[in-house]
Amino acid sequence: MPSPVKLYDLAARDEDIRFSPYCWRVRFALAHKGLPVETVPWRFTEKAAIGFSGQGKVPVIVDDGRCVADSWKIAEYLEATYPDRPSLFNGQTGHALARFAAEWTDNVLVPTIARLILPEVHDMLHPKDQDYFKTTREAFFGCSLDDLAAGREAHLAALRQALRPLAATLEHQAYVAGEAPAYADHVVAAALQWLRVCSPHDVTSDQPALAGWFERMLNAYDGMAKAMSAAA
């Protein structure tokens, strides 16, 4: 058994609550590779703690002395470093199309979920992170967290709409990547895990194929994602 990969993992006020959609990708990918993980709780304002990575965001991993930041680069690092373990991509075309799924997630799904849940995320954070979070997110979205909260119904409708390509895909196949989960599934499920951990909004129960897939992803890898409590 290799020694654990250290993962700097975004934490809430309660340090056991982990919700980052980018860190969850790494958790899924490590589990897929069968690599043990040791997570280090990290808050947004603890830039010094990951200064060794040359940048200021998580996920950051340290594996046998090697440091890698950025979820996509971490996935590529794991695939290249552990080629004999279950593949995250299943070949060049699978790799390229997983990139498209990740870009869809980053450019559409994550911002759409963000508009819906950022007010709740703010309230979950450690107090020392809240000003930083509020300032950076309000600048990014060009409106206040209160404005976002006031538009909740519209953001929920936008999220249901944004999920259509995913839901339609899952009406034809068990996983985004086919008969078994791979990195494309990790990326999308990590975004829905963020939603699940931070807010009580339900966006899958009227879409059985999507709901069934997410339940399988929560139960995958010995129920790793399900072990994290959902928001009440």
Q: Which residues bind its own copies (CB under 8 A)?
A: 89-101, 103-104, 106-108, 164-166, 168-169, 172-173, 175-179, 182, 184
Q: How far is the CB of 110 from its own copies (least distance, A)?
A: 11
- Give the nearer residue to its own copies in terms of CB position, either 17 or 162: 162
Tell me which H or E stretch contains 7: strand 5-10
Q: How far is the CB of 24 from its own copies (least distance, A)?
A: 19
- Give the nearer residue to its own copies in terms of CB position, either 97 or 149: 97
Q: How far is the CB of 223 from its own copies (least distance, A)?
A: 24
- Give the nearer residue to its own copies in terms of CB position, either 107 or 229: 107
Q: How far is the CB of 122 from its own copies (least distance, A)?
A: 26
- Give the nearer residue to its own copies in terms of CB position, either 99 or 126: 99
Please return the burial class of 176, using the count of CB atoms within 10 Å of its CB with bins 0-12, 13-18 and 19+.
Answer: buried
- Residue 124 near residue 198 (C-beta atoms within 8 A): yes
**Secondary structure string (H, E, C) spanning 9-68:** EEECCCCCCECCHHHHHHHHHHHHCCCCEEEEEECCCCHHHHHHHCCCCCCEEEECCEEE
